[in-house]
Amino acid sequence: MAGEPQDDCLFCKIVEGHVPATIVRETETTVAFRDINPQAPTHVLVIPKAHYPDAASLATGAPTLAADVLREAKAVADEDKLESYRIVFNTGAGAGQTVWHAHAHVLGGRGMQWPPG
């Protein structure tokens, strides 16, 4: 069920403290941690603590929580002193989503190309 922790979800396990992560920020509603396979000098994932399988379901089911994720993405960029950065939400396997818990990638610290891939 949307919003409820899922036993088989890696990010829910990080939220619960059962899987270690390098946490850089935490609020009442979000957790931000370093990506284990960084694609840029700054590569942080910002996730809602509540489980939503992707960005679309998060935006539809909990728009205030989606705004919290974006606000924390900016806070991560500010803490890493990024003048410019990219926020990426992969939604669906064809877009590269591999963990079915909504998350924003905050990427920065190097030039970004367009189109991204």
Active-site annotation holder among 51, 101, 103, 105: 103
- Return the percent helix, strand and coil in the chain, to nearest 5: 30, 20, 50
pTM beyond 0.85: the answer is yes
Averaged pLDDT in 10-residue chunks for the chain of 117 residues: 84 97 98 97 98 96 98 98 96 94 97 85
Residue 21 vs residues 35, 77, 99: alpha-carbon distances, Å: 9, 18, 15
Q: At which residue do the structure tokens 């890493």 appear?
A: 80
Q: Using CA atoms, how far apart are residues 15 and 56, in angstroms rounded to an integer?
A: 20
The answer to whether residue 18 is catalytic is no
- Residues β-bridged to residue 47: 31
* Main-chain dihedrals φ then ψ at residue 60, nearest 5 degrees: -75, -45
pLDDT given at position 117: 64
